């Protein structure tokens, strides 16, 4: 039997010292169906060169800029050229790079957000739909098996009719002026021209928002938001609190903050219905708490072969119960679904199971509605692009 060729991928961004690019490469490697063939990793020539050498790329496939890479790769024979572009740059480049890559015939998997604003994102959506190429967005927390299990239980009425959703994402890494101390990741995130309109609300608030919509299986329609800046001189919000209303009359609370000193990455969601509730925490991703109205609390645990888990959750697990799987495996699930879609020649803008352009639109509508509500006098602001 002939071996199935691996999907040839290239990177824009992710030079030496970039955490998220390393996570992407590790996740793609764990899936096993990808190989790195090229990259334009950094505007710094020495960083770019060192990164290429460290990753084992020949000089001819380590490009000085992303436009040159797209042009050169497109000119290569079909069996050699890059098939999939991974975008791990600061936010302002996500849409321009994705648009040109899609138009050049390459699939795209991008870090979030998909664009800087809703207008730019709608233009990208048009490119995605015309390109007949796949587009994915790295909302990695939607790759966790027990998140899919929670959604399945909501869909099947295990907790009854949903009434209340509480989602929170507190971090502490911006509790001080780390940008002023030379932290480059913090510095560009506080520049509207590179980060976009939102700071904390765009960086991690969108993760909480997408998780709420995914697990509750219905859209957020209106929000009432308060944004804050706690560090003098900071341009963009570092703290956000809001109420929200969902499509079926569900009420909710969303908290996103990067100034909760001492917190690491405790993204958490609770969903309550008239028969019970569910709770999932990113820092303990193998557990899903189920509270029933008239029964003792139970904790569902992930693991291959667990008979009480739904098919969607089981397919996203690799190890028996008690062997922890985490962030890299969740991202690997996105890569795995993307590989299946590419090799299955799935047409259309989104790869099944992978957050795509519609998730990007929802997230951007959320950011803009939160900012508009905070700045305005209205009690509630409706999200644009509501289904």
What residue ranges of the chain are covered by domains with CATH 3.40.50.720? Answer: 7-140+350-354
Mean pLDDT of 214-231: 97
Mean pLDDT of 267-289: 98
Q: For residue 2, is pLDDT > 70?
A: no
For 336, phi then psi, to 5°, come to -65, -45
Crossing angle for the helix pair 357-375 and 206-216, to the nearest 10 degrees: 120
Residue 182's Cβ-count burial label (10 Å; 0-12, 13-18, 19+) is exposed
Give the separation between CA 357 and CA 125, rounded to whole angstroms: 6
- The rounded mean pLDDT for the chain is 94
Nearest one of 113, 255, 267, 128 to 192, comparing CA atoms: 113
Tell me: the pLDDT tens digits for 25-76?
Answer: 999 999 999 999 999 999 999 999 999 999 999 999 999 999 999 999 999 9
Q: For residue 344, is pLDDT > 90?
A: no
DSSP designation for 201: I
H-state helical runs in the chain: 19-31, 45-54, 66-75, 94-103, 118-131, 145-155, 184-189, 192-195, 200, 206-216, 311-314, 327-343, 357-375
pLDDT of res. 347: 62
Mean pLDDT of 326-339: 96
Strands 7-13 and 84-88: parallel
Query: Do residues 64 and 72 touch, judged by C-beta distance below 8 A?
Result: no
Q: For residue 144, is pLDDT > 80?
A: yes
pLDDT of res. 346: 65
Worst-scoring range by mean pLDDT, 19-33, 78-92, 140-154, 336-350? 336-350
pLDDT of res. 373: 98
* pTM of the full structure: 0.94
CA angle (69, 50, 85) in 5-degree steps: 30
What residue ranges of the chain are covered by domains with CATH 3.30.360.10? Answer: 144-319+363-375
CATH 3.40.50.150 fits 7-140+350-354, yes or no: no
Mean pLDDT of 269-286: 97
Give the separation between CA 187 and CA 197, rounded to whole angstroms: 15
The 3 state secondary structure assigned to 71-121 is: HHHHHCCCCCCCCEEEEECCHHHHHHHHHHHHHCCCEEEECCCCCCCHHHH
200: its two tokens: 């904390």
Q: State the architecture of 144-319+363-375 in CATH terms.
A: 2-Layer Sandwich (3.30)
Give the separation between CA 40 and CA 42, rounded to whole angstroms: 6
Banded pLDDT at 349 (limits 50, 70, 90): low
């Amino acid at each position: 039997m002939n071996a199935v060729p691996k999907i040839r991928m290239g990177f824009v961004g992710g030079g030496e010292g970039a955490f998220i690019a390393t996570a992407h490469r590790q996740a793609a490697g764990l899936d096993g169906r990808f190989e790195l063939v090229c990259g334009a990793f950094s505007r710094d020539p020495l960083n770019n060169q060192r990164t290429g050498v460290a990753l084992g790329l020949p000089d001819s496939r380590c490009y000085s800029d992303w436009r040159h890479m797209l042009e050169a790769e497109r000119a290569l024979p079909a069996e050699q050229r890059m098939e999939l572009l991974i975008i791990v740059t600061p936010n302002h480049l996500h849409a321009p790079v994705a648009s040109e890559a899609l138009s050049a015939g390459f699939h795209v998997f991008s870090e979030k957000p998909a664009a800087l604003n809703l207008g730019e994102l709608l233009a990208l959506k048009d490119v995605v739909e015309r390109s007949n190429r796949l587009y994915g967005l790295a909302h990695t927390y939607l790759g966790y098996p027990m998140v899919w299990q929670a959604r399945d239980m909501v869909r099947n009425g295990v907790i009854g009719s949903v009434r209340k959703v509480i989602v929170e994402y507190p971090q502490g890494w911006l509790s001080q002026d780390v940008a002023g101390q030379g932290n480059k990741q913090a510095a560009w995130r506080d520049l509207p021209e590179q980060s976009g309109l939102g700071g904390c609300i765009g960086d991690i608030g969108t993760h909480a928002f997408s998780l709420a919509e995914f697990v509750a299986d219905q859209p957020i329609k209106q929000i009432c938001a308060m944004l804050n800046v706690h560090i003098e001189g900071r341009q963009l919000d570092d703290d956000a609190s809001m109420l929200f209303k969902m499509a079926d009359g569900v009420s909710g609370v969303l908290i996103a903050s990067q100034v909760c000193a001492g917190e690491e990455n405790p993204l958490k969601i609770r969903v309550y219905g008239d028969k019970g509730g569910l709770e999932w925490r990113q820092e303990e991703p193998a557990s899903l708490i189920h509270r029933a109205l008239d029964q003792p609390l139970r904790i569902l645990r992930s693991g291959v072969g667990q008979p009480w888990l739904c098919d969607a959750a089981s397919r996203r697990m690799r190890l028996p119960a008690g062997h922890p799987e985490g962030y890299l495996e969740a991202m690997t699930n996105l890569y795995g679904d993307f590989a299946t879609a590419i090799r299955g020649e799935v047409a259309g803008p989104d790869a099944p199971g992978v957050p795509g352009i519609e998730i990007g639109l929802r997230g951007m509508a959320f950011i803009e509605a939160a900012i508009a509500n905070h700045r305005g006098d209205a009690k509630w602001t409706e999200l644009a692009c509501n289904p």
